[in-house]
Amino acid sequence: MIDLEKLKSINKESSVAIISVPSDENSTFLKGTAEGPEKIIEALHIDSSNMCAENRVDLSKEERLVEIGSFEFNDNSNQVLQIEEPINKILENGVKIIALGGDHAISYPLVKAHSNFFKDLTVLHFDAHPDLYHEFEGNKYSHACPFARVMEQNLVKRMVSVGIRGMNQHQKEQGVKFGVETIEMKNWVEVNSLKLDSQVYISLDLDILDPAFAPGISHYEPGGCSSRDVINLIQKINAQVVGADIVELNPQRDINGMTAMVAAKFLKEIAVKILE
């Protein structure tokens, strides 16, 4: 359960809440990402590593970083429709959020909530896939569709997708229609000249990584980037980061928890970026 009481005791304006969103209702091909958040939290605290980010901030001593628990969904509606309102309640307190998925469908309500509070949003989207299908297998809330919903409602000023290598003609056309800036994996070097100047929301689908670095995901798309490539890009963001999600960890496919460790590493680097 989400523990909003915990938020009362912290310095709200500068704090970051880690919140688990265990939803895989809108996944295709495989289920299992609902078990992701628990494994990322476990990896974050595992004794084999410490809680230091690479800028030497020790997050175990950082009182502004708070874990506030997990969403509990009911059966009354699609889980995607149950996310925005509680997130609004947290954001209206001035607290920033890192959400742990879950499948990528959760990013639509997360970005929607952020758009209520940040009028100048850029989504920086890490993924092998554009996730721009108008609908997928009859579901417009599918994890293949979140950014079509975001863009058709004009929720953000700018959207940049990086690492893409599974784009068909329909998604190409959707991207052009919505003005999504895409850096395909084959052109990865272009991330070096990426300029971000507004409030950045990071949406990080772990399948951006080559499956060699992240076997614990559902949709293997070889030819992806390394963990280092992603860390470097997070670290070089030269703009205010106002929120993030890390999605698509499927523990049922993971090997020795290695993908959960990568997710926890990204979580640490994103957390210090938001706290900066």
How many other CB atoms are there within 10 angstroms of residue 79's CB atom?
Answer: 23
How many other CB atoms are there within 10 angstroms of residue 229's CB atom?
Answer: 20
From the list 261, 148, 240, the residue with the least C-alpha distance to 198 is 240
Q: CB 136 → Mn ion: shortest distance, Å?
A: 11
From the list 59, 64, 74, the residue with the least C-alpha distance to 10 is 64
| CB of 24 or CB of 207, closer to Mn ion | 207
| CB of 73 or CB of 147, closer to Mn ion | 147
Q: CB 103 → Mn ion: shortest distance, Å?
A: 8
Q: CB 35 → Mn ion: shortest distance, Å?
A: 17
Q: CB 177 → Mn ion: shortest distance, Å?
A: 19
| CB of 65 or CB of 243, closer to Mn ion | 243
**125-154 positions binding Mn ion, by CB under 5 A:** 127-129, 131
Rounded to 5 degrees, φ, ψ at 147 are: -85, -15
Q: Contact, 184 vs 172, CB < 8 A?
A: no
Q: CB 86 → Mn ion: shortest distance, Å?
A: 22
Whole-angstrom distance, CA of residue 28 vs CA of residue 173 = 22
Angle at 216 between CA 273 and CA 33, to 5 degrees: 80
Q: Counting Cβ atoms within 10 Å, is residue 123 exposed (0-12), middle (13-18) or buried (19+)?
A: buried
Whole-angstrom distance, CA of residue 74 vs CA of residue 72 = 7
* Span of 37-45, 58-66, 121-129, 179-187 interacting with Mn ion by CB under 5 A: 121-129
How many residues touch Mn ion (CB under 5 A)?
Answer: 7
| CB of 10 or CB of 21, closer to Mn ion | 21
* Span of 35-43, 120-128, 154-162, 266-274 interacting with Mn ion by CB under 5 A: 120-128
| CB of 25 or CB of 131, closer to Mn ion | 131
| Strand positions, DSSP E, 120-240 | 121-126, 158-164, 181-184, 199-205
Q: CB 218 → Mn ion: shortest distance, Å?
A: 9
Q: Contact, 100 vs 36, CB < 8 A?
A: yes
| CB of 205 or CB of 269, closer to Mn ion | 205
* Span of 53-61, 63-71, 87-95, 119-127 interacting with Mn ion by CB under 5 A: 119-127
| CB of 87 or CB of 249, closer to Mn ion | 249
Whole-angstrom distance, CA of residue 16 vs CA of residue 53 = 15
| CB of 162 or CB of 241, closer to Mn ion | 162
Our finding on whether 104 is near Mn ion (CB under 5 A) is yes
Q: Report the relative pairing of strands 96-101 and 16-21 from DSSP bridges.
A: parallel
Q: CB 33 → Mn ion: shortest distance, Å?
A: 10
From the list 227, 222, 232, the residue with the least C-alpha distance to 263 is 227
Q: CB 227 → Mn ion: shortest distance, Å?
A: 16
**197-226 positions binding Mn ion, by CB under 5 A:** 205, 207
Binding residues (CB under 5 A) for Mn ion: these are 104, 127-129, 131, 205, 207
